Structure 1
Amino acid sequence: NKLKQFARDISKLKGLYIPHWTYDSDTTTDYIGQRGEHYYTTETYTDSEGNDQTRQVQDTHWYPAAGRVGVSFDDILVPASDTLPRKYVDELEPWDLPNLTPYTDEYLSGFQSESYTTDLRGGFNLAKDKMAPEIDSKIRWDIGGDVQRIDSKTTYYQNITFKYILLPVWISAYRFKDRNFQFLVNARTGEVQGERPWSWVKITLAALSVIAIIGIIVYFASK
């Protein structure tokens, strides 16, 4: 179909290295909250036929809770450029970060490269937002009970380290019913994200076929 023909046209794909920050950090969080423990009472009601019935009703006792939790984070990834929609770039994860290699000019062959527009401090503020759900989860586990409330928390960040890295993405756009749609492909894993008027399964399979074709070309070119 037209999508497969489009995907096999490598000239329509643009290779781009997107800058990212990665952060490692140990965190300590002091919190104040509440622990909820469910209990049940029996109530009597009249059904639609006028008969008295009983049923169990859930309610919750709330108790004060406070404490401190620690969570360590490794390689929290933050895009350092806003050229592409951040929500799509984030969804290209996971990346195989353990296989990162030191920068050399050869890796830029066939790809364009961007410089960062989000600085180190701004990137860490975004990283904090990514850390927050896991910290909240640890607080709720620490509070215990059936349900939890977090009234306030203060997080301290220690042993912060960072890396500045470039991650490869294939970018393209296509026109469908008088609209332009852009999609991104993780050049390492084939993960596809973007606007989607068609079946996302078909787009993913088409993108994987492109990566396979590129791999074959690179293989024979290196011989």
Structure 2
Amino acid sequence: MPKFKASLKPGVERFPCGQCGAILKYAPGTEHQVCEYCGFENHIEPSAAPIQEYDLQQALRQLAQPQAETVKAQIHCDECGAGFQFDSHIHAGECPFCGTPIVTATAQAKPIQPKSLLPFAIGEAEAKQQFQRWIAKLWFAPNTVKKYARSDTKLTGVYLPYWTFDSDTETDYVGERGDVYYVTVPVQVVRNNRTVTVMRRVPKIRWTPVSGRVRRFFDDVLVGASKSLPRKILDALQPWDLYNLMPYDEKYLSGFRSEYYQVELDEGFDAAKQIMDSVIYRDIARNIGGDHQRIHQARTRHDKTTYKHCLLPVWSAAFRYRDKSYRFVINGRTGKVQGERPYSGWKIGFAVLAALLTVAGIYYYLETSGALEKLQQSDYYSLLIEKPSKNKRYGMCLSRKAVHPAPKSST
């Protein structure tokens, strides 16, 4: 369990070049800091320390105790002599006056400090290529946006804060199992302009009360701890190669921005439980079996729950289109792109018109060729009824009852 502390002394890290004195920056995909002026390289010695998990309940109890009030001290840049402060959620970036890379200690503002990170694996040039490929595939994006993708827009490398959670869960549930069976009933159909009665098999569901217990161990459930980007975008950047996490080293942050966590530990675990609940819900449905399932009640217990606080790399930028800002981010390990995008109204309208014309053409052909009447007189629909879908609808039934919600967990 890490010892929480809040330092009033501004811990500022700089990494001067041993050859010309300029500030070294981390080179993505390497184990080096590089001087952009003389090319000097400083090797980053990898740490052999293991990546630790920390007890969640112990951390929450400690965080609930009164914490010493922190004062965000002013940063002094040795290169130009300027004094300034980063934004409240930033602890690594550049001097706004001369561009010198600066990393401050996270203990100045947050009681929990990052203990591990994934360094950038791709540089800005490769990240731009990934973004250009992504936006070129957006069919309904305005042409102005695609032109932007070819411009020389600068990307910003940012380390975003994340929580990971491990938990051993056990869930007791009560529900119903639905098994499909068939009955033969008379059905009226039109054949050769006459109404006739035919016998057809239709599906019914037999519901049986059930109860049981499911168990699952969750490993590294990932929750974004930044509020700078929507959670939908943060989640869509997965997967991350968390098995390659390495001990936190400020040398990897030089030349990049880095954020403090803005989602507190307890909030992060609440979000993690929602992710776990969706998996547990599927486990319960499989355990119930049958063709359909209803889950009326579920109580989940979490045991041996641990957490990590880590930093993960993204390339980020934004562009404006018609007075609105759109953000996009690129996974700094894999190059996966996610973001917000505008839509072209005329492109969508043209696509809808083309689809309507296609449907109208098909209908006209079927009607004039007589194929539509033959289709209506055939047993096609009865064949569809007699072959129900193999997809199981968890938490749903064929009655008028509403879909049952996913189970709520309790710690």
- Which residue of the other structure, out of 213, 220, 227, is the alignment partner of 1:82? 227
Deviation (angstroms), 1:86: 1.1
> What is the TM-score normalised by the length of structure 2?
0.46
Asked whether 1:24 is paired with 2:166, we answer yes
- Matches of 2:309 and 2:322, distance apart in 1: 40
> What is the TM-score normalised by the length of structure 1?
0.83
One-letter identity of the residue aligned with 2:305: I
One-letter identity of the residue aligned with 2:171: T
Is the strand fraction higher in 1 or 2? 1
Identity of aligned residues (%): 48
Mapping of residues 109-188 of structure 1, within 5 Å:
109-188=254-333
- Matches of 1:115 and 1:83, distance apart in 2: 11
Gap regions ≥5 residues in structure 1: 200-223
Point out 4+ residue stretches in structure 1 off by more than 4 angstroms. none
Q: Give the greater-gyration-radius structure (CA).
A: 2
Mapping of residues 56-71 of structure 1, within 5 Å:
56-71=201-216
Secondary structure of 1:122's counterpart equals helix
**Where does residue 236 of structure 2 map in the other structure?**
91
**Where does residue 101 of structure 1 map in the other structure?**
246
Deviations 1:165-222 (A, max 9, x none): 00111110123344321111111111111112379xxxxxxxxxxxxxxxxxxxxxxx
**Where does residue 184 of structure 2 map in the other structure?**
42
Q: 1:68 to 1:51 in 2, by over 3 A?
A: same
Gap regions ≥5 residues in structure 2: 1-145, 345-411
Secondary structure of 1:94's counterpart equals coil
Deviations 1:126-162 (A, max 9, x none): 1000011110111011111111110000000011111
Secondary structure of 2:232's counterpart equals helix
Q: RMSD of the alignment, in Å?
A: 1.6
Deviation (angstroms), 1:51: 1.2
One-letter identity of the residue aligned with 2:173: Y
How many pairs does the alignment contain? 196
Greater length-normalized contact order (CA 8 Å, ≥ 6 residues apart): 1
- Matches of 1:124 and 1:31, distance apart in 2: 22
Is the helix fraction higher in 1 or 2? 1
**Where does residue 33 of structure 1 map in the other structure?**
175
